[in-house]
């Protein structure tokens, strides 16, 4: 289905009625097991997705399914604690619905985080990666269907979906904090099954450094509506076939928990400098 501008506006209006004069500026979408930053928001106003018209629920493990508005490191943030995924049965338009609503509410920046499999064999599980670009070749665009010009052009440029200025900000911040930060390309895969070793080899040949089941649709939509984007990945595990061991959701969530201090420290420090 194509969402209409009226539907986006209705969602935004329902949220606005709960926010008083609070206008968020930085939208944050937090990935698997990485939702803890939402709990650190000061003076929080939490709204469950199910209480927002036209919003879908997030059913994935480690995703709370609510929006938290408030202040973090002096920034007015809107945190999506839990995202929607295509593998949950949602269309890409549904997956990225919240980004457009947050844009209407006033957000001009999007910080996305995710957990992903590490494709680059020079790196290790537990490393953090700055996303410099993405590959989403084998699935339709979230912008498919009627274009809503109020958000952006029919054929938007995607040369710099991940804003160069914010990449540099994250690089500098990580360096100052002494946190090693890899840089690379996020390769989107549908899921929910983890990739096969052959798919991981293919991703590597095509230029991917990390494989994951999220982020790329939301970032396309954010770019379309003119938001600046910063993407940070926790490489929670070596991707399939690299080590001779099965992948599991537990491994991903454990890695997210283990990286908590480093990851939230870096995101918070970046926020402060925005
Ligand atoms: N593949 C896809 N998505 C993931 C992975 C993975 O190896 N780890 C965490 N999310």
Looking at ligand 1, which residue's alpha carbon is closest to its atom 6? Answer: 117
pLDDT in tens, 122-170: 999 999 999 999 999 989 999 999 999 999 999 999 999 999 999 999 9
Cα 245 to Cα 239: distance, rounded to the nearest angstrom: 10
CA distances from 68 to 15, 184, 260 (A): 11, 29, 19
Q: How many whole angstroms separate alpha carbon 186 and alpha carbon 192?
A: 17
pLDDT digits (tens, 9 = 90+) for 9-36: 999 999 999 999 999 999 999 887 788 8
Task: Tabulate helix, strand, coil % of the chain (nearest 5).
Answer: 35, 25, 40
Query: Which residues does a 6 A CB cutoff place in the pocket of ligand 1?
Result: 115-117, 189, 194-195, 211-213, 236-237, 239, 247, 252
Task: State the DSSP string of 17-39.
Answer: HHHTT----EEEEE-TT-THHHH
134, 215 Cβ separation under 8 angstroms: yes
Q: Are 72 and 41 in contact (CB under 8 A)?
A: yes
| Surface-to-core class of residue 181, CB atoms within 10 Å of its CB (0-12 exposed, 13-18 middle, 19+ buried) | middle
**Mutation choice for ligand 1 from 30, 239, 241, CB with most ligand atoms inside 8 A:** 239
Tokens of 195: 């990739």
Host domain of residue 159: 5-273
Nearest CA, atom 10, ligand 1? 116
- pLDDT-based confidence at 234, cuts 50/70/90? very high
Question: Within 13 A of 31's CA, how many CA atoms are on the CB side?
Answer: 29
For residues 125 and 239, give the distance between their C-alpha atoms in angstroms, rounded to a whole number: 9
Query: b/e per residue, 106-142, with b = 16+ CB within 10 A?
Result: bbebbbbbbbbbbbbeebebebbbbbbbbbbeeeebb
| pLDDT level of residue 60 (50, 70, 90 thresholds) | low
Number of folded domains that form the chain: 1
Predicted local distance difference test score (pLDDT) of residue 9: 97
Rounded distance from Cα 225 to ligand 1 centre (Å): 28
CATH classification at residue 36? 3.40.50.1580
| Gap from CA of 115 to ligand 1 centroid (Å) | 7
Whether the CB-CB separation of 247 and 125 falls below 8 Å is answered with: no
Residue pair 196/241 in contact (Cβ under 8 Å)? The answer is yes
Q: Pick from 138, 144, 136: which is nearest to 219 by CA?
A: 136
Which of 114, 115, 135 maximizes ligand 1 atoms within 8 Å of its Cβ, making it the mutation to test the pocket?
115
What's the predicted TM-score (pTM) here? 0.96
Please tell me what DSSP assigns to residue 76. E
Q: How far is the CA of 212 from the centre of ligand 1 (A)?
A: 5
Q: Which atom of ligand 1 is nearest to the CA of 239?
A: 7
CA of 75 to the centre of ligand 1 (A): 30
pLDDT higher than 90, residue 41: yes
């Amino acid at each position: 289905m194509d969402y209409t501008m009226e539907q986006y506006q209705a969602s935004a209006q329902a949220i606005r009625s709960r926010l008083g004069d609070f206008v968020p500026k930085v939208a944050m979408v937090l990935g698997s097991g990485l939702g803890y930053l939402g709990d650190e928001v000061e003076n929080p106003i939490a709204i469950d997705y199910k209480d927002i018209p036209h919003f879908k629920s997030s059913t994935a493990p480690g995703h709370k399914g609510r929006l938290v508005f408030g202040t973090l490191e002096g920034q007015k943030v809107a945190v999506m604690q839990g995202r929607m995924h295509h593998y949950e049965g949602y269309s890409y338009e549904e997956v990225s619905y919240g980004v457009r609503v947050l844009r209407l509410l006033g957000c001009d920046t999007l910080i996305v985080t995710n957990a992903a499999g590490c494709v680059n064999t020079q790196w290790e599980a537990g490393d953090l990666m700055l996303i410099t670009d993405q590959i989403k070749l084998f699935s339709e665009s979230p912008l498919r269907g009627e274009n809503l010009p109020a958000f952006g052009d029919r054929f938007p440029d995607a040369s710099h979906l991940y804003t160069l200025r914010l990449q540099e900000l994250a690089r500098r911040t990580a360096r100052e904090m002494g946190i090693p930060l890899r840089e690379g390309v996020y390769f989107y895969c549908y899921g929910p099954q983890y990739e096969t070793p052959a798919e991981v080899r293919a991703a590597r040949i095509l230029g991917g450094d990390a494989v994951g089941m999220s982020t790329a649709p939301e970032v396309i939509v954010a770019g379309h509506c003119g938001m600046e984007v910063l993407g940070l990945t926790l490489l929670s595990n070596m991707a399939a076939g690299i080590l001779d061991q099965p992948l599991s959701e537990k491994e991903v969530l454990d890695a997210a928990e283990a990286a908590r201090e480093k990851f939230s420290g870096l995101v918070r420090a970046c926020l402060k400098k925005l």
